[in-house]
Chain A
Amino acid sequence: MTVPEVRQHPEHLEWVGKSIPRVEDPKFLRGRGNYIDDYEVPNMLEVAVARSTMAHAKILSIDTSAAEAVPGVVAIVTSENVTDHVNPMPDFGPSPDKHTWYCLAVDKVRYMGEGVAVVAATSRAIAEDAAELIEVEYEPLEPLTDMLAALTDDAPLIHEALESNVPFHRKFAFGDVDGDFAAADVIVRDTLWWGRSGGQPLETVGAVADYDSATGMMTIHVNSMSFTHFLFLLANTLRVPSNKLDLQPHPSGGSFGAKFFEVKTATIAAMMARVTGRPVKFMQDRLDNIANGDHHGSDRYYEVELAAKSDGTLLSTRYKVVDNYGAYIQFGVGQHGNSLAQAVGPYRMSSIGYDLTAVLTNKCQQGAYRGFGSEVGNWILERMVDLMAAELDMDPFEIRRMNFIQPDQFPYFIPTGNVYDSGDYEAVLKKTMELSDYKGWRKRQAEMRAEGRHIGIGVCTCQERSVFSATEFWFWFDEPVAAPVTSAPESVTLKVDAMGAVTATLYSNASWGNSPETMVAQFAAEELGVKPEDVSVVYAGSNQGMPATGPGGSRFTIMVGGAVEGAAQSIRAKAAKIAAHLLEANEDDLVWEDGGFAVRGSPDQRKELAEIALAAHMFKHSLPEEIETGLEASHVQDHPYTTMPNPERTNLGVFYPFVGHASHVVVVEVDPETGRVEFLDYTAVHDCGTVVNPRSVGGQVIGGTVQGLGSTLFEEFLYDEDGVLRTPSFAEYLIPSALDSPTLRVGHNETPSPYTPYGVKGGGEAGRMMAPSAICAAIDDALGIRIRRLPATPERIVEMVDAKD
Chain B
Amino acid sequence: MKSPPFEYHRAGSATEAAALLGELGFDARILAGGQSLIPLMNLRLAAPGFLVDITHAPDLAGIGANGAGLHVGAAARQRTVELHAETLAAAPVLADAISNAGQVPVRHQGTVVGSIAHADPSAEMPAAFKAQGGTVTAQGAGGTREISSEDFFEGYFTTALEEGELVTGVTVDAWPSGTGHGFLEFSVTKESWPIALAAVMVHVDAGTIDRASVVLGGVAEVPLRRPEAEAILVGSAPGAEVFAGAAEAAAAGIEPLSDSFGSGAYRKKLARVLTRRALTTAAERAGGAT
Contact = CB atoms under 8 A, between A and B. Distances in A.
A793 B188 contact: yes
A726 B190 contact: no
Interface string B171-188: 000000000000000101
B104 to A, nearest CB: 12
A128 B44 contact: yes
B4 A129 contact: yes
Contacts of B263: 795
Interface in B1-16: 1-5
Contact of A734 (B5, B186, B188, B266): B188
Nearest to B277: A673
Nearest to A128: B2
Given A673-B273, A674-B270, A734-B189, A794 B262 contact: yes
Contact of B189 (A128, A132, A714, A798): A714
Contact of B190 (A123, A132, A285, A737): A737
Contacts of B3: 125
Given A734-B192, A794-B262, A674 B2 contact: no
A795 B1 contact: no
Nearest to B276: A673
> Taking each of A714, A732, A734, A795, which has the highest tally of chain B beta carbons within 10 Å of its own beta carbon?
A795
Interface size class of B (residues with CB under 8 A): 20 to 34
Contact of B191 (A129, A732, A737): A737
B241 interface: no
B68 interface: no
Nearest to A726: B260
A124 B105 CA distance: 27
A674 B189 contact: no
A740 B2 contact: no
Nearest to B187: A734
A726 B43 CA distance: 15
Nearest to A720: B260
Contacts of B192: 731, 734
B259 interface: yes
Contacts of B5: 125, 129
A735 B189 CA distance: 8
A309 interface: no
A794 B192 CA distance: 13
A402 interface: no
A727 B260 contact: yes
Interface string A667-686: 00000011010000000000
Contacts, number: 62
A674 B4 CA distance: 40
A798 B269 contact: yes
Interface in B58-81: none
A795 B273 contact: no
A739 B186 CA distance: 14
B53 to A, nearest CB: 20
Contacts of B39: 731
A731 B188 CA distance: 11
Contacts of B186: 674, 676, 794
A718 B260 contact: yes
Nearest to B191: A737
A617 interface: no
Given A729-B43, A798-B269, A124 B2 contact: yes
A516 B262 CA distance: 41
A287 interface: yes
Contacts of B266: 794-795, 798
B259 A795 contact: no
A735 B260 CA distance: 14
Contacts of A737: 189-191
A286 B191 contact: no
Nearest to A791: B188
A736 interface: yes
Interface in A735-755: 735-737, 739-740
Interface in B36-53: 39, 43-44
Given A734-B189, A739-B190, A125 B260 contact: no
Contacts of A795: 262-263, 266
A48 to B, nearest CB: 8
Contact of A125 (B2, B190, B270): B2
Interface string B82-99: 000000000000000000
Interface string B248-273: 00000000000111110010011001
Interface string A98-129: 00000000000000000000000001110011
Contacts of B273: 673-674
B260 A740 contact: no
A673 B276 CA distance: 11
A737 B103 CA distance: 11
B188 A739 contact: no
B259 A726 contact: yes
A501 to B, nearest CB: 42
A470 B188 CA distance: 40
A64 to B, nearest CB: 18
B1 A740 contact: no
A733 to B, nearest CB: 8
Contacts of A739: 189-191
B2 A794 contact: no
Interface in A212-240: none
A123 B266 CA distance: 44
A128 B39 CA distance: 15
A659 to B, nearest CB: 33
A794 B188 contact: yes
Contacts of B2: 123-125, 128
Nearest to B193: A731
A408 B239 CA distance: 65
A78 to B, nearest CB: 20
B1 A285 contact: yes
Interface string A694-721: 0000000000000000000010001000
A72 B189 CA distance: 41
B99 to A, nearest CB: 13
A287 B42 CA distance: 11
A102 to B, nearest CB: 25
Contacts of A132: 4, 44
A294 B193 CA distance: 27
Nearest to B265: A795
Nearest to A123: B2
B44 A736 contact: no
A280 to B, nearest CB: 17
Given A123-B2, A674-B270, A714-B189, 10 more contacts: A285-B1, A287-B43, A673-B273, A674-B273, A727-B260, A732-B259, A732-B261, A734-B192, A793-B188, A798-B269
12 contacts: A285-B1, A673-B273, A674-B273, A718-B260, A727-B260, A731-B193, A734-B189, A736-B189, A737-B190, A739-B190, A740-B191, A794-B262
Interface of B: 1-5, 39, 43-44, 186, 188-193, 259-263, 266, 269-270, 273
Closest 7 CB pairs of A and B: A125-B2, A739-B190, A726-B260, A285-B1, A795-B266, A795-B262, A673-B273
